[in-house]
Amino acid sequence: MTRFIWFVSFISFLWLKGTGIETNQTNQINQTNKIDQTDQINMTFKTWIKTITFYEILVGMKVTMSHLLHYRPITLQYPHEKRTLPDNYRGMLALLRYDDGTEKCVGCDLCEAACPSRVIRVVSAEVPGEPTKRYAKEYYMDMTRCLFCGMCVDACPVDALGMTREYEWAVYDKRQLGLNKEQLLAIGDRSFPVREKQLELQHPNVAFFNVAFKHLPQKPS
Amino acid sequence: MTELSLRLAVSLAQILAEMGIVIVTIATMTYFERKVLGWMQDRMGPMEVGPYGILQPVADGIKLFFKEDIVPAGANKAMFALAPMLTMVVSMIGFAVIPFGSNMTMDIFGITIKPFVVADINIGILYILAIASIGAYGIILGGWASNSKYSLLGGLRAAAQVISYELNVGLAIVGVLLLAGSLSLVEITEAQAGGFWHWFIWGARPDGFFPIHTQIFAFVVFIISAVAETNRIPFDLPEAESELVAGFFTEYSGMRFAFFVSAEYASMTLVSCVAASLFLGGWNAPYPGTIFEYVGLEQLAWVEHIAWFACKVYFFLFLFVWIRATLPRLRYDQLMRFGWKVMLPIALANIVVTAITVYFFPRG
């Protein structure tokens, strides 16, 4: 037993010499604050015991072990399980149609103007035979640049653009993400099966003017 | 002539069996480590290949086998090829002297062999130390031959670290050697027979139960130095991912990369086997004798011995993974200071005290 105690004290002496922190601390404390001397010595003894028993490491190992025993993974097995999307999720963009199958888009170019990253390119044209009506002859979206801010959808006066809840659009070739009008309409068709009804008297350009008048500066009352 | 060839065949069969066990252990460890690490970090670990990802080691093996083998421009091709082989071979042949089970003999075709130890040489532990030192050469060569600054830095770090901590491993073992009076792992294990308190971590004398020759300090030093020597977290400076990409095997790919990784796991297993043999009684059960002997099945005692040995080895392997999940990496000066100013004095003091107590209270 004496051997054991002698051994422990010898080891601790070496350890203290090796670390060289505790002794210096004790000296400083003795010089500055003599009232708390015993307390401080007890504290250093406690910290010293903690050092030689690897107390802090054991505390950490207890934490990891408790996580192993109370195994509650936060992993979502993605292709097999999917997140519930929020209601206002902004996914893939799409062009919409009215219930009779006509395109909503009037080719006004406002989405192109609103887009901060120049995703959209619209080629507008007159509807043949109806000089007051216009439509998008060509409509391109480069989805590699889209940041899904939804400003084009906000800008659209006739609600011709919509954001779907699709997000699995990983492709092997970047060029597959440059979408044309047919592809965008197809996305809209499969994502919004219930279409808006086209009103009888609604001229597409009327909606445009309505929006314009709504944003007129109001007279201060 | 026929006897010689037969002896050769039997030895080769034994070596193949043991290699198979080691390789299966490595494959299991890659899966086990990823799984346990995941569970400890609230993840799942591999889940895709097979039920609960159980076939992940097979998939990894196939993938690594068919990967392109790239030799970087400006690399020393011979050395680049030599390094992974050296590391792998060295970490595998250390198992030759490990006694997996009881020291029984067996007659096959008139040749007497020891089935649970390939080579019972009388300097077993010295052999393992020597072989483990060669392992550092593989790492340094790999780091130097890659012609990459990250690899070179990793190799240099490995050199400094392995030299520092090998010293502590060697000194921590000396206490055990004083108690056992032998360098053979078989004899060291047999000297710890008789139950829990007779393991060298407690070191009770064969006639008593008072842990008078305790080697627990040497045990702690050995385990810490073993973690450092196998380049595991928190001592993984040679392959520090956040600093050196992958350290000494940054430029390796395919099977050569696989060799380095499996060499790491093999040396982990080897170190666990050595720790179990030296400090935790090897294949001895924590109670005197075996249960199979009590119930009258002496011929099956070896099963229990092997089971206990496997338990102890897997305890150490789990400990390695556990430490990896818990601790961050040491800084380089902390590593060196800890090795030379903390571990080394303790190991030396342990030798002095053990020598004195063994002199005054001799064993048996």
Query: Per residue in A151-179, is it b (16+ CB within 10 Å) or e — as a string?
Result: ebbebbbbebbbbbeeeeeeeeeeeeeeb
CB pairs under 8 A between A and B: 63
CB contacts of B356 in chain A (<8 Å) are 3
**Calpha distance B356→A73 (Å, rounded):** 53
From the list A185, A184, A202, the residue with the least C-alpha distance to A101 is A185
CB contact under 8 A, B214 and A71: no
**φ and ψ at B286, to 5 degrees?**
-75, 5
Query: Tokens 């790491």 map to which residue?
Result: B264
CA dihedral (A144, A148, A152, A158) in degrees, to 10, reads: 110
Looking at residues A145-155, what average pLDDT do you find? 90
Give the N- to C-terminal CA distance of chain B in Å, as an integer: 44
Length of chain A: 221
Check CB contact under 8 Å for B47 and A18.
Answer: no
Segments in A70-180 forming alpha helices (H) = 110-114, 151-155
**Using the 8-state DSSP alphabet, how is residue A134 labeled?**
E
Distances in whole angstroms, Cα of residue B154 to Cα of each of A53, B134, B227, B258: 31, 17, 17, 18
Query: Residue A103 has what DSSP assignment?
Result: B
Closest chain B residue to A7 measured between Cα atoms?
A: B353
A210: left (phi > 0), else alpha (psi -120 to 50), else beta?
alpha
Q: pLDDT (tens digit, 9 = 90+) per residue, A180-219?
A: 988 999 998 888 888 877 765 555 555 544 444 455 455 5
Count the neighbouring beta carbons within 10 Å of the beta carbon of residue B156: 16
Q: Does B42 touch chain A if contact means CB atoms closer than 8 Å?
A: yes
Closest CA to B187 of B278, B254, B55, B77: B278
pLDDT of B207 above 80:
no
State whether residue B47 sits within 8 Å of chain A by CB: yes
Distance CA B277, CA B281 (A): 5
How far away is chain A from the Cα of B124, in angstroms, using its nearest Cα?
29
Residue, of B54 and B248, whose pLDDT is higher: B54
Chain B residues within 8 A of A11 when measuring between CB atoms: 217, 346, 349
Q: Smallest CA–CA separation between A52 and chain B, in Å?
A: 10
Q: Cα(B228)–Cα(B222) distance, rounded to whole angstroms?
A: 10
Contacting residues of B for A77, CB less than 8 Å apart: 44, 47
Instruction: Locate the chain A residue with the closest alpha carbon to B52.
Output: A77
Cβ of B40 and A77 within 8 Å? no
> What three-state secondary structure class fits A179?
strand
pTM over 0.80: no
Interface contact B39-A65, CB threshold 8 A:
no
Per the CB < 8 Å rule, is A15 touching B346?
yes
Domain chopping of chain B, boundaries:
26-42+70-360
Rounded-to-integer distance, Cα B200 and Cα B165, Å: 21
B302: amino acid identity, one letter: W
CATH 3.30.70.3270 boundaries in chain A: 93-197
The reply to whether omega before B211 is within 30° of 0 (cis) is no
B307: its two tokens: 């089971």
Instruction: Give ipTM to 2 decimals.
Output: 0.77
* Long-range contact pairs involving B355-364 (C-beta distance under 8 Å, separation at least 24): B355/B178, B356/A3, B357/A3, B357/B212, B357/B213, B358/B178, B358/B179, B358/B213, B361/B205, B361/B212, B361/B213, B363/B179, B363/B181, B363/B191, B363/B205, B363/B206, B363/B213, B364/B205, B364/B206, B364/B207
B 99-128 residues inside an 8 A Cβ radius of A = none
Mean per-residue pLDDT for B169-185?
89
A35-66: pLDDT as tens digits: 555 556 666 888 888 878 888 889 999 999 99
Average pLDDT, integer, range B106-124: 81
Collapsing DSSP states into helix, strand and coil, what is residue A140? strand
Contact flag B326-A64 (C-beta cutoff 8 Å)? yes
- Residue A19's pLDDT band (cuts 50, 70, 90): low
Residue B209 in contact with partner chain A when CB distance is under 8 A: no
As beta bridge partners, residue B113 has B106
Strand B106-108 versus strand A178-179 pairing type: unpaired
Q: Is the pLDDT of residue B107 over 90?
A: no
Closest to A120 (Cα-Cα) out of A169, A161, A82? A161
Q: Is residue A126 very low, low, confident or very high in pLDDT (cuts 50, 70, 90)?
A: confident
Q: What is the mean pLDDT of residues A132-157?
A: 88
Q: In chain B, what is the greatest distance between 2 CA atoms, to the nearest angstrom?
A: 67
Specify the fold of A93-197: Alpha-Beta Plaits (3.30.70)
- In 3D space, the residue among B181, B196, B133 whose CA is nearest the CA of residue B161 turns out to be B133
> For B314-363, what is each residue's pLDDT tens digit?
999 999 999 998 988 888 888 888 888 888 999 999 999 989 988 888 87
CB A25 within 8 A of CB A44: yes
CA angle B36, B100, B210 (to 5 degrees): 90
Of residues B293 and A113, more confidence is placed in A113
Q: What is the pLDDT of residues B274-326, one digit of tens each?
A: 999 999 888 888 888 778 777 877 778 888 888 999 999 999 999 999 999 89
In chain A, what residues touch B326 (CB-CB under 8 Å)? 57, 60-61, 63-64
Euclidean distance between CA atoms B126 and B184, whole angstroms: 9
Q: What gap in Å lies between CA A115 and CA B299, rounded to an integer?
A: 83
CB-CB: which of A18, A67, A74 is closest to B40?
A67
Strands B106-108 and A120-127: unpaired
Question: Rounded to whole angstroms, what are the CA distances from A173 to A140, A169, A187, A217, B29?
Answer: 17, 11, 19, 47, 39
